[in-house]
Structure 1
């Protein structure tokens, strides 16, 4: 488990408690613990903060928060820092989410995209949020992936997010430069080359035992030569002549929290972990989600149905928010997904195996990037092999393995 940074002390929370807790008097107890197990969040340390406060009438009340802080590692300090992950996510929570929610409110619909964010008087990189688990929100099981109902809730909320983000450009102009470059950009070229090469080599090894390997194996071998260049060439700045949105950037099942009623029916879903947000084609979020988070029996068989479901809700929300430009057709969305195939292939070969893998103590960001033994074991897990064996022929026939 991650070590809790020493700067996290009770005195930093006093002003927040005075502002948000009626009749606050003083802090009685202050506890911080790890919120997630290994392999559940790689970019930041996720913590739960529990504060017991004394009120002016001498009664006790407990406040709960979710706190994200930066890893103190060489990898984070030399690379992740360049990606502005905390600056991005802080702005998303404090600026974009309130703006998007207000846009829907003005259109007559109440929509929530994520938890409330709070501020602390510290210089360290952090993000402090309400603990929405207290309201019945929780992650779905990432190893089992999402069934059709969960997929549709996720895609419906994603369509609302994308629509609002596109309309915002009409109202307030372009997004800041930091949102035009995602995590897969030349700033991190050594890491991207290392990860993409390792990913495709692991896929080559494990696919030697697959029944249909003769269909695609030679294409996969050829792709292994060119893929890093293809990836870096195709994830640069967005095409200004296309329909673009503020992509979540890391849209997989661990970055969405579902709210359930007492009968375990889904009531809502919030998106979390916006640190990879990027202004680009909606094809990026769609293909990333469809590869990493959809159940095995749905991933290929219902791919087109899920894309259609997203498109229906995208158009519905663009109309609701009075988007004035030409709206993308369903054919446009399919074309955008194909144009995002470099991003999608990286998701299939590097992110999907990690998303499906069993939790182990070695599942850390440094090992994900640097430990070939840890990564090789991930690809050998039966669950991972089943998904790869399913998607590889589909990717071949769709042209995903063509780096030209």
Structure 2
């Protein structure tokens, strides 16, 4: 499968619906945006475009964009299911983002509380057709603002995020989840047409035999971690339960009233931070990226996945209780601002939600940590990624993080 790319005509077709039918691309340049190990579910290009929006005497303008295109190899198509997941993400930008902004404006939410976590979208397509379909093909594309030119930057996936960054993400994630719940309560039909449409279930890309084989591969990785010998059986049972849930969603369905728009892959490389101009280490804003995997599920799965994959070593262990309280405070505060009854959303009910859904995230977190902790020099190009890499021999960083997580799960009763 060839590495996808965009032409002048592609860019004009993508940009014209938003910027005007007379738009002309005068010139453009593109280069790979991400390094090996930073992104697997898509091909990411940084594109500089010189455009003219009107007739010949109209001044030219420059756009710094990111193009999100389908992944370049068959294995990643099987792993990420782009025909389905690209449509889900496109719905986020064309519908969900619009309704979130509309609802907050209707409720006169002040700017310091306004949830604005989506990057600006400049154009989308599922196929070469002008119509946005329900199934994407190899021509699918999403054009977004290049946040790097707006002084946003990524964190270090192997080091993780310090407490300030984690607090910012937890508070914004809580409000992001609460907006979905508010839309469900206040505008149920709009919620159905936007959030639930975007959250349509994934197609199962691995059969049961393949999932069982992957569980054995993961267990081989876990068995290489000293000090976790007593927990192997518990981890294997948890992984088998996760496989069952992939086959039968009724095993652990989302529960009301918390069920919400769930990102499912919220880790360091799927967010970018903007910083105080007077203090480059003080994050003041964050944007979330990569909405291909969204589902309707418990919000605590996003919260736990983020904390255990993306906090720097020791941050989660020292501040867990504080961060859970921070999440609850922001979640309920957002609902109150939207005029919703919060009597069902007690702190105790959140703790019960965590205990209910935390076990279902164990396999997910242990698996994703392998790639997150991988040495960049050992990460293959995106076109060469396969299961052998995704279940490779764990390094010392993985062993430390996975062991800390496993022991915490045991102590909290999740394993």
Give your verdict on TM over 0.5. Answer: yes
Q: CA deviation at 1:350?
A: 0.8
* Aligned equivalent of 1:392: 406
Equivalent position to 1:272, from 285, 289, 309 = 289
Are the aligned partners of 1:197 and 1:227 in contact in 2 as well (CA < 8 Å)? no
Q: State TM-score, norm by structure 2.
A: 0.83
2:229 maps to 1:217: yes
Are the aligned partners of 2:238 and 2:363 in contact in 1 as well (CA < 8 Å)? no
Q: Take 2:3 and 2:378, find their aligned partners in 1: how far apart are those partners? A: 16
2:374 maps to 1:376: no
Q: CA deviation at 1:20?
A: 6.1
* Aligned equivalent of 1:97: 97
Q: CA deviation at 1:197?
A: 3.1
- What is the CA deviation profile of residues 7-56 of structure 1, one whole-angstrom value per residue up to 9, with x for unaligned ones? x1011222555666699774332212110000101111111111224674
Q: Take 2:7 and 2:119, find their aligned partners in 1: how far apart are those partners? A: 22
Q: Take 2:198 and 2:142, find their aligned partners in 1: how far apart are those partners? A: 18
Q: Take 1:25 and 1:74, find their aligned partners in 2: how far apart are those partners? A: 35
State how many pairs are aligned: 387
Q: Which moved more, 1:91-100 or 1:105-114?
A: 105-114
Q: SS of the residue aligned with 1:119? A: strand
Are the aligned partners of 1:45 and 1:69 in contact in 2 as well (CA < 8 Å)? yes
Cα distance change of structure 1 residues 17 and 250 upon mapping to structure 2, 3 Å threshold: closer
2:155 maps to 1:114: no
Q: CA deviation at 1:261?
A: 3.0
2:151 maps to 1:131: no
* Aligned equivalent of 1:67: 67
* Aligned equivalent of 1:179: 199
Give the RMSD, CA atoms, in angstroms.
2.9
Cα distance change of structure 1 residues 249 and 17 upon mapping to structure 2, 3 Å threshold: closer
Equivalent position to 2:42, from 18, 26, 44 = 44
Q: Take 1:332 and 1:298, find their aligned partners in 2: how far apart are those partners? A: 24
Q: Take 1:178 and 1:188, find their aligned partners in 2: how far apart are those partners? A: 24
Q: State TM-score, norm by structure 1.
A: 0.85
2:238 maps to 1:227: yes
Equivalent position to 2:377, from 345, 355, 360 = 360
Are the aligned partners of 2:117 and 2:287 in contact in 1 as well (CA < 8 Å)? yes
Q: CA deviation at 1:243?
A: 1.9
Q: SS of the residue aligned with 1:317? A: helix
Q: Take 1:188 and 1:108, find their aligned partners in 2: how far apart are those partners? A: 48
Q: Which moved more, 1:169-178 or 1:260-269?
A: 169-178
Q: Which moved more, 1:339-348 or 1:63-72?
A: 339-348
Q: Take 2:124 and 2:408, find their aligned partners in 1: how far apart are those partners? A: 48
2:298 maps to 1:281: yes
* Aligned equivalent of 1:161: 176
Q: CA deviation at 1:295?
A: 1.2
Cα distance change of structure 1 residues 322 and 189 upon mapping to structure 2, 3 Å threshold: farther
Q: CA deviation at 1:376?
A: 2.7
Q: SS of the residue aligned with 1:340? A: helix
Show structure 1 runs of 5+ residues with no match.
Answer: none
Q: Take 1:58 and 1:101, find their aligned partners in 2: how far apart are those partners? A: 32
- What is the CA deviation profile of residues 70-97 of structure 1, one whole-angstrom value per residue up to 9, with x for unaligned ones? 1242224445337721011110111111
Show structure 2 runs of 5+ residues with no match.
Answer: 130-138
Q: CA deviation at 1:330?
A: 1.8
* Aligned equivalent of 1:333: 350
- What is the CA deviation profile of residues 255-293 of structure 1, one whole-angstrom value per residue up to 9, with x for unaligned ones? 111111323132211111111111111111011111101
- 1:28-43 aligned within 5 A: 28-43=26-41
* Aligned equivalent of 2:134: none
Cα distance change of structure 1 residues 116 and 330 upon mapping to structure 2, 3 Å threshold: same
Q: Which moved more, 1:146-155 or 1:195-204?
A: 195-204
* Aligned equivalent of 1:152: 167
- What is the CA deviation profile of residues 84-128 of structure 1, one whole-angstrom value per residue up to 9, with x for unaligned ones? 210111101111112112222222223312112133562522211
Q: Which moved more, 1:14-23 or 1:271-280?
A: 14-23
Q: CA deviation at 1:253?
A: 1.4
Q: Take 1:188 and 1:80, find their aligned partners in 2: how far apart are those partners? A: 14
Q: Take 1:17 and 1:179, find their aligned partners in 2: how far apart are those partners? A: 26
Q: Take 2:179 and 2:140, find their aligned partners in 1: how far apart are those partners? A: 27
